Amino acid sequence: MIKKEKYIVTGMTCASCAARIEKNLSKLSGVKFAQVNLATEKATIEFDEKIAEEKDLLRLVENLGYHIEKEENLTQNAELNIFGMTCAACSTRVEKALQKIPGVRKASVNLASGKAKIFFDPAPDRPQTMIEVIEKIGYHAEVAQNHEPDREQVLREHERKKLKNLFVISALLSAPLFFAMLDMWFHLELKFLHNFYFQLALATPVQFIIGARFYKKAYLTLKALSPGMDVLVALGTSAAYFFSVYQGIIQGHELYFEAAAIIITLILLGKFLEEVAKGKTSEAIRKLIGLQPKTARVIRGGVETDIPLTQVLAGDQIIVRPGEKIPVDGLILTGNSAVDESMLTGESMPVEKAPGDTVIGATINKNGSFTFKATKIGRDTVLSQIIKVVEEAQESKAPIQKLADQVSGIFVPVVLGVALLTLSGWYFIAGDLNGGIIAAVAVLVIACP
């Protein structure tokens, strides 16, 4: 049987070290494939267990003067739920922050699912350290519980409602400012809409109460020397707001309050729609988890007892009556029945089961009663493995997404640089500070997500 394993190799100092290990492993009888990466200090080996034993592979590398150990023995992994990410730059920022933590070997952050998967050297306080680092750069994080999406769903629903309410209030306050802009185009003669104090009263709560979240995030990202999209929003809208205040007090015309208020309103709408879309990405997993029964009827000490599914142990004898879902994977001991396995195979016809046959958790017992022995529980069941595959598929990144993450990492500093150059050009070349401010604000506003 061909087996594929990954190992950590230490002691390599140059490319020839990696090549030497590869060459010697490839010569060993039974080894089908060997690849050693100097940069990551990892080795991937495929070998036939009937011909080559794992201990022989390890001994060979040790005899060459290097230390080798299974990757799973040296690293642990943790999964975190991260709240507050709004764009690719956010996920890139979190990923970089996690990778800077000593002992973290790999970190992958998925914006759509709002999850981070981290591989790290064993340490009792490592997950808490990761959470503290994420909190420092302006996001909220907590350890994800295995297949328990209820809390995550509640938090996401709370965020959706909050964003919806903020958007509605912001839209109501911004609407008169929008109509003031239309009045300038179509000459509707609604003069009260252009009153400086009227517009100031509408724009101020949008800018500093509803838009407070952008200022907070901008401060935290700047503090971490990693400016994100929130910096663009805060700078762009603040420039438009304060320039309007200056214009209104000093010159009494050309107000731009509507630009700041409408940008904040539209960004809130975008964030709300994004939260709705994020909720749908985990819907498939929630449906799969929903297939599992909540309890199992086990025989312990000769007594039938209903217990939570999480308390079922391998080797427990479980009774399943007609119409009930089978709680875990197992082997039938007594009784006969027909089991609906359509959730697994797609086959609509029930499958006849007799003593000695295997049954799969979450399938439905039809017309008979039987007792079976639990052989696979928790993460080892077929359904849990399916859920794991779906989760890994959601967490993986396409090559184009990796490119987008790289671009987003430098996007904000580049935009800030372009805005500064625009302002400088207008002021030093054209000698027009007002025009320069308007042009620089336009750059920031257009770049807002």
The total of other beta-carbon atoms located within 10 Å of residue 72's CB is 13
Give tens-digit pLDDT for 303-362. Answer: 899 998 888 888 899 999 999 999 999 999 999 999 999 888 888 899 999 999 999 999
Residues 160 and 278 both lie in one domain: yes
Give tens-digit pLDDT for 223-268. Answer: 777 777 788 889 889 988 998 898 888 876 778 898 899 999 999 9
The torsion angle over the Cα atoms of residues 395, 398, 399 and 405, rounded to 10 degrees, is -60
In a domain, 395, yes or no: no
d(CA 248, CA 199) in angstroms, rounded, equals: 10
**Ordered alpha helix ranges (H), 140-195:** 150-186
Mean pLDDT over each residue of the chain, to the nearest integer = 84
pLDDT exceeds 70 at position 397: no
Averaged pLDDT, 176-180: 89
Could you tell me if 81 and 141 are in contact, meaning their C-beta atoms sit under 8 angstroms apart? yes
d(CA 234, CA 211) in angstroms, rounded, equals: 8
153 three-state secondary structure: helix
In a domain, 113, yes or no: yes
Most confident stretch, 165-169, 314-318, 385-389: 165-169
In a domain, 397, yes or no: no
255, 286, 317 — which closes off a domain? 286
pLDDT at 396: 62
Nearest alpha-carbon partner for 64 in 7, 5, 20: 20
Nearest alpha-carbon partner for 412 in 190, 154, 233: 233
Give the pTM. 0.63
Using pLDDT thresholds of 50, 70 and 90, give the confidence band for residue 438: confident
Residues 262 and 198 both lie in one domain: yes
In a domain, 399, yes or no: no
* Positions of E strands within 84-207: 104-110, 115-120, 140-143
The residue segments making up the domain with residue 309 are: 295-383
Count how many domains the chain has: 5
234, 255, 286 — which closes off a domain? 286
In a domain, 66, yes or no: yes
Q: What is the CATH number of the domain that holds 91?
A: 3.30.70.100
Give tens-digit pLDDT for 2-11. Answer: 888 888 787 7
Give tens-digit pLDDT for 79-90. Answer: 888 888 877 778
pLDDT exceeds 80 at position 59: yes
Residues 62 and 87 both lie in one domain: no
DSSP secondary structure string for all residues of 224-290: TT---HHHHHHHHHHHHHHHHHHIIIII-----HHHHHHHHHHHHHHHHHHHHHHHHHTHHHHHHHH
pLDDT at 96: 86
The torsion angle over the Cα atoms of residues 267, 272, 278 and 284, rounded to 10 degrees, is -150
Q: Which of 57-71, 136-150, 250-264 has the lowest mean pLDDT?
A: 136-150
Rg (CA), the chain: 30
pLDDT exceeds 90 at position 174: yes
Q: What is the CATH number of the domain that holds 365?
A: 2.70.150.10
Take residue 104 and report the two structure tokens written for it: 């973290």
